[in-house]
């Protein structure tokens, strides 16, 4: 028997769920700051039936700014804060390598996503990638996900790049607006399916 496939939303971390300070690497869990709309957005997505995954590049490890253990403490604190607000994350994946390390897991390469899709039985064609960088949009495109670029974090600057627009399916002001867009998208899809079904019965 075939295992059921689930829709998911893949989420960048810095500049998407939490405040990102350009030029700084978050190495202290106590300094992590959620955007005010992060928890409501993720609760809405969970209510809509989506599995939720964080996929993040953490080159500060390769650069020697902090260790894997530190990065995992930051991720654990983020998951704890989200869970306390009723926004559970299914899994967090991160790439510890730098831009010139030649790894296969650094976004926009899709390895982190492919592993999560396989492990959690995700239906890519019914899933989304939300982030604030062109690399997030390219990552989502390589996996067959619908992509949403946020204006938070690096998003406003990234929108000046032609490749960002070509790789982006939709632009949202922030994470809650993205969640609401996803809600409308799946509602429109359900309406189209039911209208098609009705037409086929006539």
Residues 6+ apart with CB under 8 A from 164: 134, 137, 149, 158
Q: Is 20 a catalytic residue?
A: no
Q: Is 14 a catalytic residue?
A: yes
- Taking alpha carbons only, the member of 91, 95, 56, 60 closest to residue 76 is 91
Is-contact 174 37, C-beta < 8 A? yes
Catalytic entry in 14, 20, 132, 136 = 14
Q: Which residues are catalytic?
A: 12, 14
């Amino acid at each position: 028997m075939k295992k059921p496939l689930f829709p998911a939303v893949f989420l960048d971390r810095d500049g998407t769920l939490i405040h990102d300070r350009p030029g700084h690497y978050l190495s202290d869990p106590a300094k992590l700051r959620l955007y005010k709309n992060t928890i409501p957005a993720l609760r809405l997505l969970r209510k809509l039936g989506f599995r939720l995954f964080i996929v993040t590049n953490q080159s500060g490890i390769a650069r020697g700014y902090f260790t894997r253990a530190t990065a995992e403490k930051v991720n654990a604190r983020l998951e704890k804060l989200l869970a306390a607000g009723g926004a559970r994350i299914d899994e967090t994946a991160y790439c510890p390598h730098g831009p010139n390390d030649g790894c296969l897991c650094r976004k926009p390469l899709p390895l982190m996503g492919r592993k999560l899709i396989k492990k959690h039985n995700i239906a890519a064609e019914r899933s989304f990638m939300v982030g604030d960088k062109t690399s997030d949009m390219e990552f989502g495109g390589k996996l067959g996900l619908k992509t949403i670029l946020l204006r938070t974090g690096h998003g406003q600057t990234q929108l000046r790049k032609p490749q960002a627009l070509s790789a982006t399916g939709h632009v949202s002001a922030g994470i809650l607006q993205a969640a609401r867009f996803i809600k409308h998208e799946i509602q429109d899809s359900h309406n189209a399916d039911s209208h098609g079904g009705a037409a086929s019965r006539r």
